[in-house]
Every structure is written in structure tokens, then in C-alpha cells.
């Protein structure tokens, strides 16, 4: 258990998950928190990351920073998705080890699982068949991250835990149409189509000023705004969404994810996951097998020979419930008050048809979700509207 005065570095503390984790820690009395914006610290810069760890010396690290996006962004920026995420993960995890960080929590994604994995997906279906092509690079980066945590634990006796959240949504979500996830993108499209129908150009311009689309903002002329919105399937009282609407998705409120993450950070150790009672974060291998010194190469690859192969130590985080994209669009339309038409362009890719995760491991570790999807969609829309009033 980390004491309340421990210094905790939250990488990505302004993002959807990182900000929720930051606030959850504060509510629990953990006030010695450290965060840096991308402008203050570029996590892809190894020298800058090392300098940061030299100066701050955190006791624990939450790695919630990532280069993320939806199906369109994944298709357009494949090299960025694998390279940027790998750089960030390698820099933060390696410097955490070099600086003696006691606990690290790595956040991945359930896109790590094979496209045709048995449903619901258990942790042990990782790497059993091919990935979904449209998000392959991001998935490979996240698999590498969880394997880094697992491997550092096995070789050096660290206490690095990887959690794999399902689709997240909530306060501080990304509503930029070029690179947002399915729910915020859908919500903004429906809202803007609703405003076009109402002819509420004041609200449309506020929205475009807050989040310009391809350089088109609220001060642009109406024709340019209408044209750029049409490019993203947004029309007067009509929205066109990608795919068939039939894929099933599971969604988790970001503040629930934050609570699960902090629960794991504070109450779950690597020993709990692999079922070893005697565990030392400093002399892990020696305690188990008498053969490992975390600073000596002789122990490499031989930390736990008596226990055989140890893998899939990550933890799924979700609700264990799902709905179709079409059903989600109906919930969003209801929240917005949209009574227009939502159609689906079947010529565009669906992505993985089903992505339900098995959350039995998480439940066994003492945590379950609180916010159901119907309530969450309404909460998200209210938060989104509040950002346009500032």
C-alpha cells in the first residue's frame, strides 16, 4: 500500500483517463501528484524523460499517456501509432526501473486481443490469432507495453501492473472529428446535425471555435463550415456513420476506469496476479528461487523456473456488458434530443465485430463498475455542452 505522502507521477494527466485518475487520487487523499503537459515534457524524448525522473524521483508512476484515435485515425497514421506509443512506453518504463520506482501502472487497451478471439475475451487469449488490421499498430504497441511490465517483473522483481480497459468515455474526452473515438465522434456529429436543423449558427460557431475541423473554425463562412461537416457525415438533421451499425461494443465510464486503476495501484501486486505469496519488490527472484539479483545479468531469463511459463498477467477492466453501435447511436440521439435520421455507410469498415471482455479477474481482485451506459451517455453530453459555455 502506498502511503498518502508518496509522490505519484501521472503521465497523461490532462487526458481522458489520466485526468480521472488524478482526481480519484486526490479524493483518496493522495496530494503529492506530479504531472507534465506534452509541451512541458515530450515523452518520446529519452533525454528529457531521464532528466524529469532525475529531478522528480517519483515513488509510483501511472502511464496513461498515449497516442490514440478511432478507426479513421488508426488507418491514416499507422506509423505514428506504433512509433509514438513505443517510444513513450520504453522511455517511461525504463526510467522508472532505473530510478527505483516502487509501483507502476500501465494502461493499455482491449484492442490487444485477436480479431476473432472467443467472446467474452479472457486475458489468456492474447497472441492466439491475428489482430484486427485497422488498429494493428496501436495494438502491437500496447502488447509490447504489457510485455515490458511482465518481463521487468520476472527478471528484476519489479511491481509493474498492466490494465487493459475496454472502450472508455467521459469528462475530457476527445471530440475532434479527425481523431476521436466512436462515442464522442458520434455525439458531436449528432449534436451538430441537430444544430444545423435548428439553424442555430451561434451554437455551431461556438462548437467550431472550441474544436476546429481541418482548420475551419467558428469565424469561417457558413459554406465552408457546411462543406467540412459534410465530409464527416454531418448534414441538416442527418448523420452518416461508418460501417453497418451491427458491431457490438462495451463501454466504461472513465471515472469508473480511474477508480479501478487506483484500486489496482493501491491494493494489487504482481504477486496477487500470479499467485505467489512470498514476494519482495527488491529481491523477488532471490526470494522465490535464490538465483536472481536485479542488477546482475546472471539472473536473466531464469527468475521463476520452478513455476514454468508465466504470461498474461495483465488485467481486463470493463463492465462485461455490450450493445451495438446502432443502439449506441439511439442513446446518443436521445441524449441530444435529435429526431433526425442516422444512417450507416456499409462501404466503410466496421472494425472488429465484437469486443466483449471477461472481467472475472478484476472482480476477483475486489472491483466492479458503477455507471451504466444509459446514464453515462447523458453525463457525457452534459459535460460536452459545458465545454462550449466556457
Active site residues: 138
Parallel, antiparallel, or unpaired for β 33-34 and 60-63? unpaired
Query: Cα separation of 182 and 373, whole Å?
Result: 14
Q: Which of 104, 212, 89 is nearest to 160 (CA)?
A: 104
DSSP letter assigned to residue 130? P
Give CA separation, 188 vs 30, 211, 233, 308, in Å.
35, 10, 11, 50
Specify whether the CB–CB gap between 342 and 190 falls below 8 A. yes
Q: Which of 155, 158, 156 is nearest to 301 (CA)?
A: 155
Give CA separation, 33 vs 226, 272, 320, 330, in Å.
44, 26, 31, 40
CA 91 to chain centre: 18
Specify whether the CB–CB gap between 121 and 178 falls below 8 A. no
Residues 6+ apart with CB under 8 A from 256: 369, 370, 371
Strand partners, 103: 60
Amino acid at each position: 500500500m502506498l502511503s498518502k505522502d508518496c509522490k505519484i507521477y501521472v503521465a497523461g494527466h490532462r487526458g481522458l483517463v489520466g485526468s480521472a485518475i488524478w482526481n480519484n487520487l486526490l479524493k483518496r487523499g493522495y496530494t503529492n501528484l506530479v504531472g507534465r503537459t506534452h509541451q512541458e515534457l515530450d515523452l518520446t524524448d529519452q533525454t528529457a524523460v531521464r532528466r524529469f525522473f532525475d529531478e522528480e524521483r517519483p515513488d509510483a508512476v501511472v502511464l496513461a499517456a498515449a497516442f490514440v484515435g478511432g478507426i479513421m485515425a488508426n488507418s491514416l497514421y499507422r506509423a505514428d501509432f506504433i512509433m509514438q506509443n513505443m517510444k513513450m512506453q520504453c522511455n517511461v518504463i525504463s526510467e522508472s526501473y532505473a530510478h527505483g520506482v516502487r509501483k507502476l501502472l500501465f494502461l493499455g487497451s482491449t484492442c490487444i486481443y485477436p480479431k476473432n478471439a472467443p467472446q467474452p475475451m479472457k486475458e489468456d487469449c492474447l497472441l492466439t490469432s491475428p489482430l484486427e488490421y485497422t488498429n494493428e499498430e496501436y495494438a502491437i504497441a500496447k502488447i509490447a507495453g504489457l510485455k515490458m511490465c511482465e518481463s521487468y517483473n520476472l527478471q528484476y522483481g519489479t511491481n509493474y501492473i498492466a490494465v487493459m480497459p475496454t472502450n472508455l468515455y467521459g469528462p475530457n474526452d476527445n471530440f475532434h472529428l479527425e481523431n476521436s473515438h466512436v462515442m464522442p465522434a458520434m455525439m458531436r456529429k449528432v449534436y451538430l446535425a441537430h444544430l444545423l436543423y435548428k439553424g442555430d449558427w451561434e451554437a455551431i460557431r461556438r462548437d467550431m471555435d472550441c474544436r476546429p475541423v481541418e482548420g475551419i473554425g467558428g469565424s469561417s463562412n457558413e459554406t465552408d463550415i457546411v462543406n467540412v461537416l459534410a465530409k464527416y457525415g454531418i448534414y441538416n438533421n442527418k448523420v452518416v456513420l461508418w460501417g453497418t451499425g451491427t458491431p457490438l461494443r462495451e463501454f466504461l465510464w472513465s471515472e469508473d476506469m480511474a477508480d479501478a486503476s487506483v484500486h489496482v495501484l493501491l491494493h494489487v501486486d504482481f504477486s496477487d496476479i500470479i499467485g505467489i505469496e512470498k514476494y519482495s519488490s527488491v529481491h523477488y527472484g532471490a526470494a522465490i528461487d535464490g538465483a536472481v539479483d536485479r542488477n546482475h545479468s546472471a539472473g536473466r531469463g531464469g527468475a521463476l523456473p520452478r513455476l514454468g511459463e508465466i504470461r498474461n498477467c495483465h488485467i481486463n477492466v470493463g463492465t462485461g456488458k455490450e450493445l451495438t453501435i446502432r443502439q449506441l447511436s439511439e442513446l446518443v440521439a436521445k441524449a441530444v434530443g435529435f429526431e433526425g435520421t442516422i444512417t450507416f455507410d456499409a462501404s466503410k469498415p466496421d472494425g472488429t465485430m465484437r469486443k466483449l471482455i471477461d472481467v472475472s479477474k478484476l472482480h476477483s481482485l475486489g472491483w466492479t463498475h458503477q455507471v451504466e451506459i444509459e446514464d453515462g451517455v447523458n453525463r457525457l453530453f452534459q459535460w460536452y455542452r459545458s465545454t462550449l459555455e466556457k
